[in-house]
Amino acid sequence: MPDLEWKASAVADLMAIVDYISDDNPDALVLLLMPEAEGKGGYFLFYRGKEVDRDFSSFLRESPSLAAKGGGRSDWLNGASPCMRPEEWREAIARFLST
């Protein structure tokens, strides 16, 4: 998978999303899936609001069905995955939250 090059406007848009979540929806989870044009996976950004009492730093390790590679902090993750099916991500997040 090629390296992702972020344009300044794209970074600003993503940060605006994060600000919206953290300020106005502190109990929200947001998953942004960005599929590659060839349909061979893509990139993701996952963020939790500040009132979601869960550390997501181990989520990728504990969700092998996503085959995702990446990192971040307890409140956000980004990286690449061959899985761009929202329903599979939702199921993985639900399993993670239920443990």
Domains of the chain: 8-98 (3.10.310.40)
CA 36-26-66 angle, 5° bins: 30
Q: In degrees to the nearest 10, what's the CA dihedral of 67, 72, 75, 77?
A: -40
pTM, whole model, 2 decimals? 0.80
Band the pLDDT of 35: cuts 50, 70, 90: very high
At 4 the pLDDT is 61
Average pLDDT value for the chain: 87
Residues 77-91, mean pLDDT to the nearest whole number:
95
